[in-house]
A and B are shown apart, each in its own frame.
Chain A
Amino acid sequence: MRPLILPVRRLIVTAGLSWPEVYGKTQIMAVEINLDGKVAVVTGAGRGIGKSIAITLAEAGADVVLASRTISQLEATAEEVRSLGRRAFPIATDVTQKKSVERLMAASVEQFGGLHILVNNAATMAPGPLLEQSEEDWDQVMTVNLKSVFLCTQAAGRHMIEKKYGKIINVASTGGEIASPMNASYHASKAGIILFTKSVALEWIKYNINVNAVGPGFVDTELVDQFIQKGTRESALKGIPIRRFADPKEIAHLVLFLASDLSNYMVGEHVIIDGGLTIP
């Protein structure tokens, strides 16, 4: 091997032309994420991360089916999606009920002619000392957070397997990898989502269905506001190397990448997005 050769040779072409001119006939275009003609189902789309995901997918060109328990919660999201020139179909859904979930997925196919992307986002938590947790608390968290992912994935998967195409993104959490006290049910449910993701990813990749998960840390949402007091917020910030909570939009961009064909080689990944909160 020869030693380094200096000085660095310069060969600079200044880019000043507009892009199509630059590329002329060869037309090597930037790979914009383009979801034109794709249909996405987003659960928990009424607020927070889910709302941001729905809007971001619509910005990239997708039509979006919006699911939430109460339909009134979905109006604002639907309005924004439509203002982007995309179709929105809000539908009241109880993601813990098989029948309701099947109606949701059927609506996607009936209303928009397909189902290409599923974002399992709906979640809840019931923090508190373990000895004070009721069986109902536990069941509620496990059903809303984990069973819903099973029901939605199964129902959507039937359509996706038939069409040999699908992108499923589960919203897990840093809480699925790293524990904090007094939130055992939440951690158990999110850890469950991560391994659920990997198992289904292995099972369905042969149908050209990519299943991946994202793991947000602290995000500025109502759910987090609801459970975090002001003092706790400040101490939480101290634990985040980046020193701020995530904007829901930042989570949505990651989901968009995983919902696009640019991430076709990613299978069963849990991508953490937490400002360094849980760097192992």
Chain B
Amino acid sequence: MRLKDKVAIITGAGRGIGEAIVYRFIEEGAKVTLCDVDGTALKQVSSNVHEMKGAYLLAMGNIVDRNFVQKMVDDTIKTFGTLDIMVNNAAITRDAILHKMTEEQWDRVIEVNLKGSFNCLQAAASYMRERGKGTIINVSSTARYGNPGQINYAASKGGVVALTRTAAKELARKNVTCNCISPGTIWTDMLKAVPKETQKRFKAGIPLGRFGDPREVAHLCVFLASDEASYITGQTINCDGGSFMA
């Protein structure tokens, strides 16, 4: 087990990639705090984790709220004794083409995806740097290269890459690494909500010829979270079936 007895917080744990990361982390022996704003989804995932006999803690709330985030980090440390891995995965979309995008759509996405990630990153990093150990994994997206209809989402995900690099530079001397996963088109609820025609167009642009499975992203996350990746920091790694190849 590559994450035996490691303690992790995973945001956006209720569905999609976050959910897959939860299961993979539990399978590898980690103790996990599951964070999501959606209580129903959280309950479903936690009952699966329960069945796997994993150790877990539920944190239902909004990462935009700094008090909630701090409490989640504190409670995790109180319950499990430490915090080794922070996975900033929670994100939302509010798609619209540029000239039709409302201020509300812009603000909402930037608030959750960028400020929310910052809140979690900051709270986790403050503890990890004191402790002199830890790793942070942010989840960006290949939308960061620019994606029509998603100017808010693309900007937030590009911002996450910049967060990653800066945090990596600041934290390296404290033995804390920070990396970023950049998934391509993954078969999640987010993608299932996209019109069939658009899905088809997405698929045509993937050299591998298929959508990614959330577990494939989770495999990369496990690798980056494990001690084996201790020399990797500041990197953004695409997991996208060859769509962008950076």
| Contact, CB under 8 Å: B233 / A242 | yes
B132 is an interface residue with CB less than 8 A from chain A: no
Nearest-CB residue, chain B, relative to A215: B235
Q: Which of B75, B228, B233 sits near A276, CB closer than 8 Å? A: B233
Complex Cα gap A19–B177 (Å): 29
Q: Which of A15, A267, A274 sits near B240, CB closer than 8 Å? A: A267
Please name all residues of chain B whose beta carbon is closer than 8 Å to the beta carbon of A267 when the two chains form the complex.
Answer: 207-208, 240-242, 245
A48 is an interface residue with CB less than 8 A from chain B: no
Q: Which of B27, B62, B246 sits near A1, CB closer than 8 Å? A: B62
- Identify which of B51-59, B81-89, B152-160 touches chain A: B51-59
| Contact, CB under 8 Å: A257 / B223 | yes
| Contact, CB under 8 Å: B228 / A9 | no
| Contact, CB under 8 Å: B245 / A269 | yes
Please name all residues of chain B whose beta carbon is closer than 8 Å to the beta carbon of A131 when the two chains form the complex.
Answer: none
B60 is an interface residue with CB less than 8 A from chain A: yes
Instruction: Give the interface residue-count category, chain A.
Output: 35 or more
| Contact, CB under 8 Å: A5 / B60 | yes
A181 is an interface residue with CB less than 8 A from chain B: no
| Contact, CB under 8 Å: A17 / B233 | no
Please name all residues of chain B whose beta carbon is closer than 8 Å to the beta carbon of A11 when the two chains form the complex.
Answer: 46, 50, 56-58
Q: Mark A2-19, 1 if CB is under 8 A from B, else 0.
A: 011111111111110101
Complex Cα gap A268–B241 (Å): 8
B231 is an interface residue with CB less than 8 A from chain A: yes
Q: Mark B207-246, 1 if CB is under 8 A from A, else 0.
A: 1110011001101101100001111111101111110011
A144 is an interface residue with CB less than 8 A from chain B: no
Offer 13 A-B interface pairs, CB within 8 angstroms, sorted by A: A1-B62, A4-B61, A8-B59, A10-B58, A13-B55, A26-B52, A202-B242, A241-B169, A242-B231, A264-B216, A265-B216, A265-B239, A267-B242
**Which residues of A does B touch, CB under 8 Å?**
1, 3-15, 17, 19, 22-23, 26, 28-32, 198, 201-202, 205-206, 241-243, 246-247, 250-251, 253-254, 257, 262-276, 279-280
